[in-house]
């Protein structure tokens, strides 16, 4: 890992902690309780993609929250600069993280496959025992 990558990972880690603090200071209930799942900075650390947890939000609520987050992105950027003493902070882009849903869906599919395999094995064993008789 290069020195630049280490710096980027350090900034991402710090932002994962600071952004929820900044969101918590806002009076808007739609966004002050959102959880940050991940932050990914660009190579030069001038931009950062902030991934948020989708839990308990409908599609409409997610869209409203994203619209509000775009409005307060400058405030969050200033909060990060001031709390860390940085000269500048990355520009934020907010997205909801659907990765957890995908992982859950994949786990369900694997369970279904496992059940089908065990059913097939049970029927094959039953057929073999009938053939032995």
CATH value at residue 10: 3.30.300.20
Would you state the structure tokens that stand for residue 14, as one six-digit string?
Answer: 């710090």
Mean pLDDT of 28-42: 86
Contacts of 4 (CB under 8 A, 6+ apart): 43
Domain coverage including residue 131: 99-133
36, 63: one domain: yes
Residue 102 has pLDDT above 80, yes or no: no
8, 55: one domain: yes
42, 107: one domain: no
Lowest mean pLDDT among 3-12, 45-54, 68-77, 93-102: 93-102
Identify whether the C-beta of residue 94 lies closer than 8 Å to the C-beta of residue 70.
yes
- Global confidence as pTM: 0.71
- Where would I find the beta strands (DSSP E) of the chain? 36-41, 47-53, 91-97
């Amino acid at each position: 890992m290069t020195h630049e990558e280490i710096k980027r990972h350090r900034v991402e880690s710090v932002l994962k902690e600071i952004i929820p603090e900044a969101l918590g200071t806002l009076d808007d209930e739609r966004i002050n309780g959102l959880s940050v799942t991940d932050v990914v900075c660009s190579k030069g650390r001038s931009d950062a993609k902030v991934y948020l947890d989708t839990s308990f939000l409908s599609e409409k609520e997610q869209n409203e929250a994203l619209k509000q987050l775009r409005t307060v992105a400058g405030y969050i950027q200033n909060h990060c600069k001031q709390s860390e003493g940085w000269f500048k902070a990355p520009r934020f882009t907010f997205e909801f993280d659907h990765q957890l849903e995908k992982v859950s869906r994949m786990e369900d599919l694997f369970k279904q496959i496992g059940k089908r395999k065990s059913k097939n094995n049970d029927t094959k064993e039953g057929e073999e025992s009938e053939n032995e008789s």
